[in-house]
Structure 1
């Protein structure tokens, strides 16, 4: 169901791009905007993992440096049938985590020191399983494609007046201005909806990888409570990276509406508890190991 919804949303994004391109730039402007957006996002796709890990000053660890975390990720990667990703730790008190990398063969997972300090081994396993589900689902590719189309729409809107008089536009100059204002907003809404859909899919996939939905449910509740009162200054300064984290690191976006990249935590927990009930699991899940 999540895959179908993602496909529908991406089709809507593509349709929006074609409509905006036709109305503002004609065929020529549409092609130019798309090619520039593809070039920009292709660079990001191949280099985003290095850029974001450097941005957050992530430190790569091995079995000797972080045996508990490394062992958890190693076991979960084996459960998921994935290559062992690179493992990083971020010196940040806000409990959070993310995955990056263009494909499973070049993936990395990162956890903050705040997460490792505040969560049990079972909860850490739930979080890391969620991040590996992102890797397995190739969500980086999905979000790169989405960002490419959204970027092309914004580019068309920003430079629409420079493409010259588009005779195919039946809306006139005022209609064109309206499209230039509303189109990027609509693209951002669809992009955020896709991000929320992928979070739900990663929750379910992560629960399947670790075999214990309640581990992730407990982790999400604990991360949400702690993250509210702890700043992640790097994320606040780079809000475009917020969608990568398992819980939104920005304090300004805590409502489950059209403008957020993450579903409400209570909605995610409810789904995980329902999944646990369907699997016949007790309220107290078994320990890790």
Structure 2
């Protein structure tokens, strides 16, 4: 199913490239756009994860430089049943995290310094398990390609603004009107891609993350904390809004966007679903979003059969 969604996304992006190319340069422009689209898709498949990590100034860490986070990811990935991904840290006060990579064998997880300072060990484990679930579900392939291709579409439209405005109807059948339409509509490409990345992926990753870490309430508690509207601005995300859908919660600080256009499900609904999952597992689902909070000083270990950390 995820492979089919990836193919559909790439086809949609290719069609969008063709449309913008035609509006800018007619048939010849559409052909050039198709070549550009194929090259961009191929480049994104192999390199988009590296680009996204670079966009957010993520630095790799090891067992020596970040022992607790590294060991946490090592243990959780073993429970998830795939090789340990590379671990990155982003120096940013906003509590957030994301995963990237084309497959479980070539993947990475990144956490901000803000989320590591804000959450307890159990809550952070819930977040990391959620990101590992995205990797196991291969959602990260779609997310990383979407982020890269969105920027390429915008670049193509901007290119047309400077070079596609001539009056040659053969080359540009819609004239300056077509160019203006392409340039105006292109900024919406990132938003459309975010809408194409189904929000149900987050629910699926939440549920799988709860199974991986052993207690869905840890992630529920984490979401209750990091979804706070008073979060600090994440400058790298504001500069690269097309990557917003990759994060566990929306990193953009602007408000007032209707739920219809949101890249993430409502946090309260996600928390409720996690509490229901916990109840199914016999862990209890009541007590609000903070039920999983624990003292930061608790030691971190492998989950027991009842979901606690030894």
TM-score band by shorter chain is: 0.7 to 0.9
In the alignment, which residue of structure 2 is the partner of 1:249?
Answer: 251
CA contact (8 A) 1:207 1:213 kept: yes
> 1:165-219 CA distances to partner (integer Å, 9 max, x unpaired)?
47xx9xx879967964786477544412233523333222222322322211111
In the alignment, which residue of structure 2 is the partner of 1:270?
Answer: 272
Deviation at 1:99, TM superposition (A): 1.3
Q: What is the distance in 2 between the residues matched to 1:35 and 1:83?
A: 35
Tell me, which stretches of 5 or more residues in structure 2 are unaligned? 286-290, 293-306
Q: What is the distance in 1 between the residues matched to 2:120 and 2:58?
A: 21
Report SS of the residue matched to 1:203. Answer: helix
In the alignment, which residue of structure 1 is the partner of 2:31?
Answer: 31
Q: What is the distance in 1 between the residues matched to 2:68 and 2:52?
A: 24
Q: What is the distance in 2 between the residues matched to 1:218 and 1:17?
A: 41
CA contact (8 A) 2:104 2:135 kept: yes
CA contact (8 A) 2:234 2:251 kept: yes
Tell me, which stretches of 5 or more residues in structure 1 are unaligned? none
Report SS of the residue matched to 2:279. Answer: helix
Alignment of 1:200-239 (within 5 A): 200-225=203-228, 228-239=230-241
Distance change (3 Å), C-alpha of 1:3 and 1:281: farther
TM-score under structure 2 length normalisation? 0.72
Alignment of 1:90-105 (within 5 A): 90-105=90-105
In the alignment, which residue of structure 2 is the partner of 1:89?
Answer: 89
CA contact (8 A) 1:90 1:112 kept: yes
Larger helix proportion of the pair:
1
Return 211-220 or 58-67, whichever deviates more: 58-67
CA contact (8 A) 1:20 1:183 kept: no
In the alignment, which residue of structure 2 is the partner of 1:288?
Answer: 309
TM-score under structure 1 length normalisation? 0.77
Q: What is the distance in 1 between the residues matched to 2:3 and 2:278?
A: 21
Report SS of the residue matched to 1:102. Answer: strand
Deviation at 1:136, TM superposition (A): 1.5
Q: What is the distance in 1 between the residues matched to 2:203 and 2:11?
A: 19
Q: Highest relative contact order (Cα 8 Å, sep 6+), 1 or 2?
A: 1
CA contact (8 A) 1:21 1:153 kept: no
Report SS of the residue matched to 1:108. Answer: strand
Return 203-212 or 116-125, whichever deviates more: 203-212
> 1:98-136 CA distances to partner (integer Å, 9 max, x unpaired)?
112232222111112221112111111110011111212
> 1:149-172 CA distances to partner (integer Å, 9 max, x unpaired)?
767876479747679647xx9xx8
Q: What is the distance in 2 between the residues matched to 1:162 and 1:140?
A: 40
Q: What is the distance in 1 between the residues matched to 2:113 and 2:148?
A: 33
Deviation at 1:221, TM superposition (A): 1.0
Q: What is the distance in 2 between the residues matched to 1:254 and 1:80?
A: 37
